[in-house]
Amino acid sequence: KGRRKRTRRDQDDKGRKRDEEVQAKIKSGKSAKTRKHIKYEKKRKMEEKLEVEEGEGEERHAKRKRKHGSANKEERDEDGRKRTVKEKAQGVKRKKHKKVQRHLTHLLCHSSEPSEEEDNDEEDNEEVEVRPESLSSEELEKLKEAVDERKKLIQVLRGKPWPMKKKCVTLWILKKESQEFVEKYEGALGKGKGRKLYAYKVMMTKKWMKFQRDFENFKTACIPWEMKIKEIESHFGSSVASYFIFLRWMYGINMILFCLTFGLVMVPEALMGRPYGTIPRKTVPRAEATSAMDFAVLWDFGGYAQYSVLFYGYYNNQRAIGWLKFRMPLSYFLVGVGTVAYSYMVVIRTMARNANESGVGDDNSFNFNWKMFTSWDYLIGNPETADNKFASITTSFKEAILEEQESRKDDNIHLTRFLRVLANFLVLCCLAGSGYLIYFVVRRSQKFALDGLENHSWWERNEVNMVMSLLGMFCPMLFDVISALENYHPRVALQWQLGRIFALFLGNLYTFIIALMDEINLKREEEKIIKFNITTWEASLYNGTVSENSTAPPVTIQPADVPRGPCWETMVGQEFVRLIISDTMTTYITLLIGDFLRAVLVRFLNYCWCWDLEAGFPSYSEFDVSGNVLGLIFNQGMIWMGAFYAPCLPALNILRLHVSMYLQCWAVMCCNVPQERVFKASGSNNFYMAMLLVILFLSTLPAIYTIVTIPPSFDCGPFSGKQHMFDVIQETLELDFPAWFGKVFSYASNPGLVLPFILLMVLAIYYLQSTSKSYKEANVELKKKLQTVTQISFSPLALM
C-alpha cells in the first residue's frame, strides 16, 4: 500500500518537475495564474478544515526525501509508468488520499509554482480526524461544493496540453476519488435533507452529461455534405471551402423558410381550402383552357401552374377554413412577416458571432508575424495545392518586405490618382449603361406584351431575363480589366471589385423593380376597367332572366367563364420566379461551358496545339469565390423580395441550392485548379454577412412598400376585398381576441407611444456606440502602455 502511495506521488513529482522545468524557461506574466492560485488557495484551506487523514507521517517524510533526492528522473519516469499500469490493473481501494488529490488539484490549477512550503503546511494539518456524522450543515455544503469542483476539474482536463497518459491517470484518480469521496460521505451528505434526492441528482447529472455528449455527436453526424467539403478543403484550401460552407448555411436558412411557407401557407390551402375549379380565382379562364397544359406555358409558369397554390392569386379570402378554423389570410400575412424577421435574426446573430471570434477587429500591427505563423493552411492534403501555397507564401513575403521598404518611398502619386479617377469614371459609365439597357428592355417587353406574346420569337419574350443574366456575367470581367489601371494592393483591389459588382447587381435589381412597378400600375388601371365591365355583365345576366319571373332563379355560371381581373400580385410572383429560373439556367450553363468545356478542350487539344494550352492562354479556370458568393447573395435577395407573392419561391430555392451544391462540388473537383493567390477566407466572412444584411434590407423594402401602399386585387388572393393588406391584423384583433386586447393594442400603436420609443432606441444606440468607441481608445492606450512599461522594465536588465 505504501509503495503504491509513493508511486502515485512519484507521478505527481514527475509531472510537477516537468512543469517546473518548463516554467523556469518561460519568463512570463503570471497574473491569470495568480488569480486562480488565490481562488484555489481559499478552497484548499477550506478542505483542510475537513481533513480525514490518518497518520501518514512516515510516508510524508519518505516523500520529502525523494523530492529533494537526486534520483534519476528517467528511471523514475519508466518506473512510474510501469507501476501506474500495474496500479490500474490491480485497482486501489484506498479511501483516504486527500493529500494526493490536493496535489492533483494543485497541478491542474496552477501547473506552476509548486510551492514546497504550502505542501508542508497541508501535510502538517492532516493529523485531525473528523467523523462524517459530526459535520455541520454548512460543512456539508462545502463538501458538496468540493464535489462539484472535482467535476469541473474533470472537464478542464481536456484543455491541458499534456500527453494522453498523464491525462488518463489524472482523470482516473479524480474519478476514483470523487466516487470514494461521495461513498464515504454518503451517509453524512444523506443525513441532511433528501439523501435519495442527492443520489438521484448525481445520477441524473451523469446521465445528462452523457446525453449531451451523444447529442453533440449526433449533431455532428447530421451535418450534410461534411465529407464533400472536407475533400474540397484539402485540395483547394479554406477559401474555396468557405463558399461551400456559406452555401450550406444558406441551404439551412432556406429550409426553415420553406418549412414555414409550405407548412403554414401552401398545405392548409391545398388540404382545407376549396378545391380547384370551385371558384373563379382557382380556375383557368375559358380562353386559356386549351393551352393550359402545354409544356411551354407551364415552363413560363402560366396555365395550371399559375392557378395553383404556387402563387398568390389562388388563395381564397375566406377568413377561416376547414374544421380547424384555420385563419388563412392571417397566416399568409404572418408567414410573410415571419420569414423576413427570421432572416434578419439569423443574419445578425451570425454577424455578431463572427465579430466575436475574429478578435479585436482589424489589427495591422502583427502583419509579418501572422504571415509567418498563420499563413500555412494545415488542411491542405494535396501536393499540388501545397506547392501553390508555398509559391503564394513566398510571393506574399517578398511583397510585404518590398512594401515595407517602399512605404518610405513616395512614388508618382499624381499619375496613380489620375488613373484611379479615370477608372472610377469608366466604371460609373458602365453601371449607368447597364441600368439604362435594362430599363429599355423592360419597356420593350411591355410593348411586346400589349401586342400579344405569340407574335414574337423566344428571344424577344425572354429578353429581360437574358439581358440581366448576361450583364451579370460580362460586366464583372470588364471591371476586372479596368481595375488593372488602378494599381491597388490585391486585397484592396478585391474589395473594390466586390463593391462594384455589388453596385451592378443592385442597380439591375432596382431597375427591374421600377419597371415592375410600372407594370403594376398598368394592371391596376386595367383592373378598374374590368371591375366596371363586370358590373355591367352581371347586370345583363340578371336582366336576361328577370323577364321570365318575378323571382329570379340563381344563375349558375361556370367559374371558368367569369371575367377575371388582372391579378397584379400573381404577375409579380411570376416575374420573380421566371427571373430566378433564368438566372439559375445561366449559372449552370456558364459553369458547363466556361469551366467544363474549357477544361475538356485544354486537356484534349493540348496534344495538337502550337502553344502549351495548360500553362498559357486558356489553361484551367480557377474557382471564383467572390463572384459565386455574390451570386448566391443576390439570388437570396430575390427570394426575399418575391416570397410574399409566390410562396413557392423558397421551395424552388431549396431545389436550386441542392442541385448547385452537387454540381459545383463536382465541377470544382473536376475542372478547376487551386488558386495562385490564395486568399484567407476568414477576413471576408463578415464582409459577406454585411452584404447579405444590406441585401436583406434592400429587398424587403419594395415588398413592404407594395404591401402598405397598394390595395390588393379585388378578386384574387387572401386579402381580396380589403382596403389594405394589413387590415387582416385589424380584423383578427376585432373578431378573434377579447375586447381588452384590442384596446391595449390600440394604445400601443398610438403615435404618442411609438415616437418616444423610437427616440429611446436611437439614444440607446448612440450611447452604445460612444462607449464602444471609448473602449477601443482605452485598448489602444493600454497597448501603448504595455510596450513602454516592458521596455522600461527590461532595459536595465539588458544593460546588466
Partner 1 sequence: MGTTASQLGKDLLSEYQELTFLTKQEILLAHKRFTELLTKDEKDLPNTRVPVERILTLPELKSNPFRKRICHVFSTSEYKDGSLTFEDFLDLLSAFSDSATMEIKSHYAFRIFDFDDDGTLDCGDLEKLVNCLTGETDDTRLTTEEMRQLISNILEESDIDKDGTVNLSEFQHVISRSPDFVSSFKIVL
Q: How many CA atoms lie within 13 A of 383 on its CB side?
A: 0
- CA-to-CA separations, 237 to 234, 242, 348, in angstroms, rounded: 6, 9, 27
Q: What residues from 73 to 102 belong to the interface with partner 1 (CB under 8 A)?
A: 74, 77-78, 85, 88
Q: Which of 264, 347, 602, 681 contacts partner 1 by CB under 8 A?
A: 681
Q: What residues from 177 to 216 belong to the interface with partner 1 (CB under 8 A)?
A: 213, 216
CB of 672 to partner 1, least distance (A): 18
Q: Concatenated DSSP letters for 546-610?
A: HTT-SSPPPPP--GGGS-----HHHHHHHHHHHHHHHHHHHHHHHIIIIIIIHHHHHHHHGGG-S
CB of 130 to partner 1, least distance (A): 32
Handedness of CA 175, 180, 183, 184 (dihedral sign): negative
Q: How many CA atoms lie within 13 A of 364 on its CB side?
A: 2
Q: Does 404 bind partner 1 (CB under 8 A)?
A: yes
CB of 211 to partner 1, least distance (A): 13
Closest C-alpha to 161, from 19, 27, 266, 40: 19
Q: Which of 116, 127, 387, 777 contacts partner 1 by CB under 8 A?
A: 387
Please name the residues in contact with 61: beta carbons below 8 A apart, sequence gap of 6 or more.
Answer: none
Q: Applying CB under 8 A, which part among 187-195, 217-225, 282-290, 752-760 lies near partner 1?
A: 217-225
Comparing CB distances to partner 1, the nearer of 26 and 739 is 26
What distance in Å separates the CA atoms of residue 446 and residue 461, rounded to the nearest whole number?
Answer: 10
Q: Does 224 bind partner 1 (CB under 8 A)?
A: no
Q: Does 391 bind partner 1 (CB under 8 A)?
A: yes
Q: Does 409 bind partner 1 (CB under 8 A)?
A: no
Q: Are 737 and 586 in contact (CB under 8 A)?
A: no
Comparing CB distances to partner 1, the nearer of 24 and 739 is 24
Q: Does 171 bind partner 1 (CB under 8 A)?
A: yes
Q: Which of 222, 360, 450, 800 contacts partner 1 by CB under 8 A?
A: 360
Main-chain phi, psi angles of 326, to 5 degrees: -75, 125
| Number of residues written out for the chain | 800
Q: What residues from 285 to 304 belong to the interface with partner 1 (CB under 8 A)?
A: none
Q: Which of 255, 256, 393, 562 contacts partner 1 by CB under 8 A?
A: 393
Q: Does 366 bind partner 1 (CB under 8 A)?
A: yes
Looking at 223-266, list the stretches that DSSP marks H as alpha helix, in order from N- to C-terminal side: 226-236, 238-261
Q: What residues from 228 to 257 belong to the interface with partner 1 (CB under 8 A)?
A: 230, 233-234, 238
Q: Which residues pair with 326 in a beta bridge?
A: 321
Each residue 711-740 as x (binds partner 1 by CB under 8 A) or -, in order, gives: ------------------------------
C-alpha cell at 238: 479554406
Comparing CB distances to partner 1, the nearer of 171 and 581 is 171
Looking at 98-225, list the stretches that DSSP marks H as alpha helix, in order from N- to C-terminal side: 98-109, 116-124, 137-156, 164-191, 195-222
CB of 6 to partner 1, least distance (A): 21
CB of 338 to partner 1, least distance (A): 32
Q: Which of 189, 240, 253, 380 contacts partner 1 by CB under 8 A?
A: 380
Fill in the DSSP letter of residue 672. Answer: E
Comparing CB distances to partner 1, the nearer of 770 and 795 is 795
Q: Does 367 bind partner 1 (CB under 8 A)?
A: yes
CB of 239 to partner 1, least distance (A): 10
Q: Applying CB under 8 A, which part among 194-202, 378-386, 624-632, 655-663 lies near partner 1?
A: 378-386
Closest C-alpha to 106, from 164, 158, 153, 64: 153
Q: Which of 3, 93, 131, 158 contacts partner 1 by CB under 8 A?
A: 158
- CA-to-CA separations, 489 to 394, 396, 410, in angstroms, rounded: 16, 11, 16
383-406 vs 367-374: helix crossing angle, rounded to 10: 170
Q: Which of 165, 207, 353, 743 contacts partner 1 by CB under 8 A?
A: 165
Q: Which residues pair with 188 in a beta bridge?
A: none
Dmax over CA atoms of the chain, in Å, equals 126
Q: What residues from 22 to 61 belong to the interface with partner 1 (CB under 8 A)?
A: 22, 25-29
C-alpha cell at 166: 498523464
Closest C-alpha to 628, from 578, 576, 675, 577: 675
Comparing CB distances to partner 1, the nearer of 379 and 733 is 379
Q: Which of 305, 330, 386, 694 contacts partner 1 by CB under 8 A?
A: 386
Angle CA(622)–CA(624)–CA(629) in degrees, nearest 5?
A: 155
CB of 77 to partner 1, least distance (A): 8
CB of 26 to partner 1, least distance (A): 5
Q: Which of 54, 58, 161, 615 contacts partner 1 by CB under 8 A?
A: 161
Q: Applying CB under 8 A, which part among 362-370, 421-429, 434-442, 700-708 lies near partner 1?
A: 362-370
Q: Applying CB under 8 A, which part among 250-258, 369-377, 554-562, 589-597 lies near partner 1?
A: 369-377
Fill in the DSSP letter of residue 129. Answer: B
CB of 7 to partner 1, least distance (A): 15
Q: Does 373 bind partner 1 (CB under 8 A)?
A: yes
The label of the residue with cell 432606441 reads: 761
Q: Are 569 and 702 in contact (CB under 8 A)?
A: no
**Count of residues that bind partner 1 according to CB under 8 A:** 78
Main-chain phi, psi angles of 621, to 5 degrees: -85, 155
Burial class (CB in 10 A: 0-12, 13-18, 19+), 388: buried
Q: Are 283 and 277 in contact (CB under 8 A)?
A: yes
Q: Which of 122, 126, 377, 583 contacts partner 1 by CB under 8 A?
A: 377
Q: What residues from 756 to 795 belong to the interface with partner 1 (CB under 8 A)?
A: 786-787, 790-791, 794-795
